[in-house]
């Protein structure tokens, strides 16, 4: 009887261990390229926002007889920390999604191998922040103020034209921003104000934020709550803030995902001189443990920088392609405003000052 119970328990454990079903390989053996027929695997570690069309992915897999495995885990910050913690035994071959706010943390950790992709020639120099080509630019997007056009029309108020406008009394209680301590667009927007107003002088970024605070700015945890919960347009009518920190690509995306076709975008981004922060996303080859499919990892990086993948970016990740030869989809070409002069903040300064800036910001705005 006793034995029976032990067997029953073992049985249950084994059954549970066998799950999940046939669709999933629970143990992934490192593929050894013995026979050419067997597809080789490239593992790409990235954030939750990564997306691409099936067609594009299949094109690469067919061309190189490869299998792409995408590992997603939370936002870019989480993914980078995982990559750093697992550097002695990397989770993947390629890391995609580190942006310029995280770049120097990635470079200092020494987790990326240099790779001189021939496709870098098609990418504008100003996007190439790492001269050693450990991190290669794939796409960019601008974090800007967005406003609800019909709200301003209904209230007979002129929409804000630049950052400075928000501290004026007619814009009192109209703005919602994300907390830079918990949100990546929140951090980007704070960086825009640092680039715009500077840290020293008569009117620093902290003076500006003190002004925003006096003007009843609302600070929320993340983009989802800001856009869906507080923004008058994004939420179903419950939000009461017609100005939100979002992306320059949000207006065309609103058009693309509208219930009914729009003649013009319902929202607009404020893209005036140095009022946006440009996030640049990078791809890099992780320093491997032992031998790896280096050639295949390089092929994947080239592929990400090539026009097929690049032209897929706007409608899947809502960012702009880094490759100059990539054509924009119609809805982006028609409805997107791209800031000509985003605010400038040196990427190395971001990692060095992140904690200090966020602490100072918190002290000014929240305490």
Residue 172: partners with Cβ closer than 8 Å, 6 or more residues away = 215, 216
Question: How far apart are the C-alpha atoms of 134 and 111, rounded to whole Å?
Answer: 9
Question: What character string, x for contact with another protein (CB under 8 A) and - otherwise, covers 114-153?
Answer: ----------------------------------------
Burial of 282 (0-12, 13-18, 19+ CB in 10 A): buried
Question: How far apart are the C-alpha atoms of 184 and 194, rounded to whole Å?
Answer: 15
- Residue 238 is a binding residue for another protein (CB under 8 A): yes
Question: Which of 134, 196, 278, 354 is the binder for another protein (CB under 8 A)?
Answer: 354
Is residue 200 within 8 Å of residue 348, measured between CB atoms? no
Question: What character string, x for contact with another protein (CB under 8 A) and - otherwise, covers 184-223?
Answer: -----------------------------------xxxxx
Closest by Cα among 234, 280, 237, 225 to 258: 234
In sign, the C-alpha dihedral spanning 364, 200, 222, 134 is negative
- Residue 49 is a binding residue for another protein (CB under 8 A): yes
Residue 116 CB, shortest distance to another protein, in Å, is 28
Residue 304 CB, shortest distance to another protein, in Å, is 14
SS (H, E, C) 93-151: CEEEEEECCCHHHHHHCCCEECCCCHHHHHCCHHHCCCCCCCCEEEEEEEEEEEEEHHH
Question: What character string, x for contact with another protein (CB under 8 A) and - otherwise, covers 3-42?
Answer: -xxx--x--xx-xxx-xxx--x-xxx--------------
- Residue 332 is a binding residue for another protein (CB under 8 A): no
- Residue 253 is a binding residue for another protein (CB under 8 A): yes
* Concatenated DSSP letters of 229-266: IIBTTTSSS---BSEEEEETTHHHHHHHT-SS--SS-S
Nearer to another protein (CB atom), residue 52 or residue 120:
52
Question: Which of 39, 40, 57, 128 is the binder for another protein (CB under 8 A)?
Answer: 57
Cα end-to-end span (Å), the chain: 66
Residue 121 CB, shortest distance to another protein, in Å, is 28
Look at strands 94-99 and 40-46 and give their pairing. parallel
Question: Which of 179, 292, 293, 323 is the binder for another protein (CB under 8 A)?
Answer: 179
Question: Which of 259, 263, 290, 291 is the binder for another protein (CB under 8 A)?
Answer: 259
Burial of 303 (0-12, 13-18, 19+ CB in 10 A): buried
Question: Which of 39, 165, 229, 288 is the binder for another protein (CB under 8 A)?
Answer: 229
Residue 31 CB, shortest distance to another protein, in Å, is 14
Ranges within 293-312 binding another protein (CB under 8 A): none
Nearer to another protein (CB atom), residue 10 or residue 161:
10
Residue 279 CB, shortest distance to another protein, in Å, is 15
Candidates 197-205, 206-214, 302-310, 351-359; binding stretch for another protein (CB under 8 A): 351-359
- Residue 264 is a binding residue for another protein (CB under 8 A): no
Closest by Cα among 40, 9, 63 to 297: 40
Nearer to another protein (CB atom), residue 15 or residue 37:
15
- Size of site (CB under 8 A) for another protein: 86
* Concatenated DSSP letters of 189-205: HHHHHHHHH-SSSSS-H
Question: Which of 1, 14, 32, 291 is the binder for another protein (CB under 8 A)?
Answer: 1
Is residue 76 within 8 Å of residue 185, measured between CB atoms? no
Give the tokens for residue 205.
């970024």
Closest by Cα among 147, 149, 123 to 137: 123
Residue 159 CB, shortest distance to another protein, in Å, is 18
Radius of gyration of the chain (CA): 23
Residue 235 CB, shortest distance to another protein, in Å, is 7
Question: Which of 93, 130, 148, 254 is the binder for another protein (CB under 8 A)?
Answer: 254
Residue 227 CB, shortest distance to another protein, in Å, is 6
Residue 52 CB, shortest distance to another protein, in Å, is 6
């Amino acid at each position: 009887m006793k034995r029976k119970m032990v067997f029953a328990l073992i049985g249950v454990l084994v059954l549970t261990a066998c799950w999940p079903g046939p669709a999933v390989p629970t143990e992934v053996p490192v593929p050894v390229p013995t026979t050419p027929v067997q597809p080789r695997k490239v593992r790409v570690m990235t954030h939750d926002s990564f997306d691409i069309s099936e067609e594009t992915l299949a094109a690469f897999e067919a061309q190189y007889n490869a299998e792409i495995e995408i590992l997603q885990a939370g936002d870019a910050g989480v993914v980078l920390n995982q990559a750093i913690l697992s550097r002695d035994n990397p989770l993947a071959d390629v890391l995609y999604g580190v942006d310029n706010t995280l770049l120097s943390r990635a470079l200092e950790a020494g987790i990326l191998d240099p790779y001189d992709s021939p496709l870098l020639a098609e990418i504008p120099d100003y996007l190439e922040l790492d001269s050693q080509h450990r991190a290669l630019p794939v796409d960019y997007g601008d974090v800007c103020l967005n406003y609800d056009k019909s709200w301003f029309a209904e209230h007979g108020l002129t929409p804000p034209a630049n950052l400075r406008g928000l501290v004026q009394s007619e814009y009192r209680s109209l703005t919602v921003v994300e907390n830079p301590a918990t949100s990546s667009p929140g951090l980007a927007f704070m960086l825009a104000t640092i680039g715009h107003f500077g840290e020293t002088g008569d009117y620093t970024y902290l003076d500006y934020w003190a002004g925003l605070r006096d003007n009843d700015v609302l600070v929320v945890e993340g983009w989802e709550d800001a856009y869906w919960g507080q923004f008058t347009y994004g939420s179903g009518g419950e939000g009461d803030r017609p100005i939100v920190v979002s992306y320059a690509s949000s207006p065309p995306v609103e058009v693309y995902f509208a219930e009914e076709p729009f003649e013009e975008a319902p929202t607009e981004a404020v893209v005036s001189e140095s009022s946006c922060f440009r996030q640049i996303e990078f791809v890099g080859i992780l320093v491997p443990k032992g031998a790896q499919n280096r050639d295949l990892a390089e092929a994947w990086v080239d592929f990400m920088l090539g026009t097929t993948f690049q032209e897929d970016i706007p409608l899947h990740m809502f960012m702009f392609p880094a490759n100059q030869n990539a054509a924009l989809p119609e809805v982006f070409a028609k409805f997107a405003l791209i800031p000509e002069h985003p605010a400038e903040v040196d990427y190395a300064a971001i990692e060095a000052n992140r904690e200090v800036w966020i602490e100072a910001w918190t002290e000014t705005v929240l305490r």
